[in-house]
Structure 1
Amino acid sequence: MTFLTEIDFNTCLKHFIEVSNSINDTWELVTFEEQVRHKERKQYLVKKNVPRLLEKSQKNTTNDTIFQCEEDLETVKDDVLVAKSSDSIPCTFEYHIVYSHSYAVPVLYFNACKADGQLLSLDEVWKMIPKHYQARLQHEQWTFITQQEHPIIGRPFFTLHPCHTADLMKSVFADNKQTGSYLVSWLSSVGPVVGLDLPLAFAALCGE
């Protein structure tokens, strides 16, 4: 399976949010009603307030900017942690999973802001990508991650371009797997590029 219809996508969302709720993850299913000619309901997934520490120290020039694991950053807003991390900038990420009619695949949109509310630039976002991904994407860094208007809420978001998603899913997703696990397989592959990791329980509960 490489493509999804919007009906399949909505089925995936339902299955995904059921797993998320069962393990107390923080994904939310959002339903947006759009009135253009006729009422149309669109659904997408949102995960807000995901804390990360952006390392700005240049002491070790062999390392790029590093995202620490989310589990280690539960207290990122704690003054003690911030004080101990003088070489780090606390950031908050928001992720959206939206259906693309043009490509018939899910698309990952995200935004990131610093503690003062300032949004990260595209250049800053690129520098945050783990080094091993940077090496693989260096020839398409400005086309792989772009900034564009969110197709549902109309605000500027960064997005991982979906042009390679079908090929990716062809290589990682077996045809005999259930549609419900499509999002888990896809997000497990693309999410880590921008600091989004799924709990292992998703794989277990979705039969990965």
Structure 2
Amino acid sequence: MMAGEKNPASCYLDERTFRLCCRLFLQHSETIQDGWSWEQIKGTDEGFMKKTVLIPVQSSVMHKQHGCFMQAENMDHLTDDIQSNVEDETAGVQAVCEIHAVLRYEYHVLYSCSYQIPVLYFRASTLDGNPLSLEEVWSNVHPNYRQRLQQGPWDTLTQQVMCVTS
């Protein structure tokens, strides 16, 4: 290799190291209480990290498609109420959600055997399970990041449609 070149093998991660890093990350998460957990896949020794966040949104973001409304002066109070209920997302939140727009962001970090790297998946939906459109997700990205991310959006965010069969 020439000076300054990276070793391609150093860009990959084995599954054992991924799990070790997850354990360390989850220990830190528990210390700062930010809600990450480990989800075991039934019948296997495999799993993934998971975090669910409930986010109140302004009525201008959601009212057209989902019929939800929220007054700006209630945002801080509602955010505190919802964050205090993240542990048990159904406790008291449903009553708040009947009046205000609340989005559910669910993050999954898992190991990709194919690419030998961690992969972040996330799902954005209303509390009743309706997925947000890609445009709605982009509209909820903080303005400080939106412009930079949209310069190369497919390096950052793509949408996968899930088909459910009965």
Q: Shorter chain as normaliser: what TM range? A: 0.5 to 0.7
Q: Quote the Cα distance in structure 2 between the aligned partners of 1:24 and 1:137.
A: 28
User: Per-residue CA shift, 1:96-147, capped at 9, x if unaligned?
Assistant: 1111233322111111221333111122112211223221122322452113
Code of the residue aligned with 2:41 in structure 1: it is F
Give the structure with higher Rg (CA). Answer: 2
- State the Cα RMSD in Å: 3.3
Paired residues of 2:39 and 2:47 also in contact (CA < 8 A) = yes
Match of 1:6 among 9, 15, 32: 15
Paired residues of 2:56 and 2:78 also in contact (CA < 8 A) = no
Match of 1:51 among 49, 54, 57: 54
Change (3 A) 1:123 1:42: same
Q: Which residue of 2 aligns with 1:96?
A: 108
Code of the residue aligned with 1:46 in structure 2: it is K
The structure that is strand-richer by fraction is 1
Paired residues of 1:126 and 1:141 also in contact (CA < 8 A) = no
Q: Quote the Cα distance in structure 1 between the aligned partners of 2:76 and 2:107.
A: 14
Change (3 A) 1:117 1:81: closer
Match of 2:117 among 80, 87, 105: 105
User: Per-residue CA shift, 1:10-63, capped at 9, x if unaligned?
Assistant: 1011112222334444222122256xxxxx632210112x111222438xxxxx
Query: Which consecutive segments of 4 or more residues in structure 1 shift more than 6 A?
Result: 69-72
> What secondary structure is seen at the aligned counterpart in 1 of 2:114?
coil
User: Per-residue CA shift, 1:139-163, capped at 9, x if unaligned?
Assistant: 32245211338xxxxx67xxxxxxx
> What secondary structure is seen at the aligned counterpart in 1 of 2:60?
coil
Q: Quote the Cα distance in structure 1 between the aligned partners of 2:108 and 2:97.
A: 28
Q: Percent identity?
A: 32
The structure, 1 or 2, with the larger RCO (C-alpha pairs under 8 Å, 6+ apart) is: 1
For residue 82 of structure 1, report the CA deviation from its aligned partner.
7.0
Paired residues of 1:51 and 1:70 also in contact (CA < 8 A) = no
Q: Quote the Cα distance in structure 2 between the aligned partners of 1:55 and 1:127.
A: 11
Q: Mind listing any 5+ residue stretches in structure 2 that lack a counterpart?
A: 1-9, 62-74, 83-92
Change (3 A) 1:138 1:27: closer
Change (3 A) 1:98 1:71: farther
